[in-house]
Structures are given as structure tokens and as C-alpha cells.
Amino acid sequence: MNHSEFAAFLKSRRDRIRPSEVGLPTGPRRRVSGLRREEVAQLAGLSADYYTELERGRGAQPSAQVLAALARALRLNGDARDHLFHLADRPVPPAHGTAAHVQPALLGLLDRLTTTPAQVITDLHETLVQNPLAAALLGRPTAERGPGASLVYRWFTDPAARAVYPAEDHPHHSRVFVADLQAVAARRGRDTAVNRMVGELRRRSEEFAGLWDAHDVGLRRTDHKRIVHPALGVIELDCHVLLSEDGCQRLLWFSAPPGTEGAAQLELLSVIGTQDMPSAGGIGG
């Protein structure tokens, strides 16, 4: 690992980001135009001492998870993210899956969605990053990897994954999930991860197999959802979806018309926070 070049690259990226670009306040007493070290650490979920050691060219080789968190915190584009991994002497992560780099355009929009639940997911409904309100509404992302990281996969293999929606809404979501997966599978072509997931789901779920053989196709771009929250009960929300240019990632955000019960419940989320919230793995778009 090239410690000195790695440290210099981190500092150069940190100096280029304005606090307002990542949702941080800009106070009159700032002595740096870019981010402070502790702010990068906060955004990446690292300790300030650990990040300081990295920027000073010290310490052990950072893990792939730490590098991915730094790439997101520093809003690196694909080439810069790859360069960070090369400097750390780590393999560049694949383009798909939970290790995928969140596309900067979607991450920039997520930074600005501070008053409504929002998150970025992959086209296989794997949660990549979410804001605090999304964690309060949906629970934190699952720790599972492989097919189990996908909400679509868990929907048809783990009954607990369906607790986020009322039981009477399950058939609708099953149909939409499978129609969406049909479109993704066609776009990706002979993709190993998709083919493995489809084959496994056909073996494990008669419901999935029947819906898959119906060949309904349709990307979910918007939907009206009823979400079961452990403290607030059923919350009726509109779910909006913005697809990345290549279709591999999606920005989801949730809203409710002003004056509705759903709008009032959303306001309570910031008070309740993530206390006692299970790891639900998010909601697919």
C-alpha cells in the first residue's frame, strides 16, 4: 500500500468538498474551505482518530468496507473511487451488489433530501445508503450478503421480510417485484447474479415461479404504499423512484400530501428516530 499517496489523495479530495454539498452547515468560524477531518470521519462512519491516522499516512491497510465508506463520504466518481482502491492495494469492487459505488448524482440528491425518507438501492433492491429518516421508517439495511441482501429475494424466502407491508397488500407487491425483476433480468442479459437469484427463487417459492412464468414486465417508478411502522402503525405514503442513467441504481423517496395523517406521521419520525427499529433491509422501489 502506498501510504503517502493514499494520504495525499484523501486530503486533496477533502479540500474540494464544501460543507453545503454534503448537507453540513457552513459557519462563519470555519478556517478551511473544504471539510474538516472529523466531518469526513462522521460522513464515513469512522472515528476521527482513525481517519486522521489515514490522512497522516499511518496505520494498517484499510478494508474494502472502509474504502467504500470514504468514497461515498468524499463524493468520488467512479474513476476516483477506483484510484482510491488501487492506492490502498485493494481489488476494485464489482459494479453490482452491496459493494457497488453509489453514483455521485444520486448521492448528491440524497444529501438534499433531509426532510423526507430517502435511500439509494440497486436494481436488485439491495440498500446501498439511506438518510436518517429512511432508517427510522424502514429500519437499517440487512447485514446479509449475496442473494439475501436483496429484498426481492427475502420477500419470497423469508416471511419476516413481508412484515413491512400489511398482509392484504402482499399479492400486489409480489406481482410488482417479479415484473420489475423481469425487466432487470432482460436489461442485464446473461448476468450470473440475476440468473442465480431467479433459479433459486423458482426452486424455493411456488408463488415466485407462477408469477415469473406469467412474464409480466414493468419497472416500478412510482407507487402508493402502506408501510407498517412499529410505533406509528400503518403509514400511507407515495413512493417515488428516480433511476440512474444506466438503470443499475435507484433513488427512492417517500412523501405524503400536506394535511394528511401520513404527513403528520412523517413529522414524528424525526422525533422517534431509529430507537428500537429492527434491521428490515429497506423497501424496494
β-strand partners of 255: 238
Query: pTM of the full predicted structure?
Result: 0.75
Q: Is the model's pLDDT at 169 over the cut of 90?
A: yes
Nearest-angstrom CA–CA distance, 38 and 30:
13
3-state SS class at 244: coil
Strand runs labelled E in the chain: 118-122, 127-130, 222-229, 233-243, 249-255
Q: Which residue has the higher pLDDT, 93 or 149?
A: 149
CB atoms within 10 A of CB 183: 16
Characterize 69-105 residue by residue with b for buried, 16 or more Cβ atoms within 10 angstroms of its Cβ, and e for exposed.
bbbbbbbbeeebbebbbebbebebbeebbbbbbbbbe
Q: How confident is the model at residue 5 (pLDDT cuts 50, 70, 90)?
A: very high
Mean pLDDT, to the nearest integer, of 16-40?
A: 77
pLDDT in tens, 228-276: 998 899 999 999 999 988 888 999 999 999 999 999 999 998 888 755 5
> Band of the pLDDT at 168, cuts 50, 70, 90?
very high
Q: What pLDDT sits at residue 126?
A: 92
CA distance 177 to 202: 14
Q: What's the burial of 252, exposed, middle or buried (CB within 10 Å: 0-12/13-18/19+)?
A: buried
Of 169, 183, 171, 168, which is closest to residue 216 (Cα–Cα)? Answer: 183
Which has the closest alpha carbon to 236: 204, 259, 217?
259
| 64-78, 115-129, 222-236, 270-284, range with the lowest pLDDT | 270-284
Which of these, 231, 222, 226, 221, lies nearest to 262 by C-alpha position? Answer: 226
Nearest alpha carbon to residue 163 among 246, 91, 230 = 230
Contact residues for 184 (Cβ-Cβ < 8 A; gap 6+): 123, 124, 194, 219, 247
- Please give the Cα distance from 257 to 237 (Å, whole number): 8
Confidence of residue 144 (pLDDT cuts 50, 70, 90): confident
Torsion over CA: 170, 175, 176, 180 (sign): positive
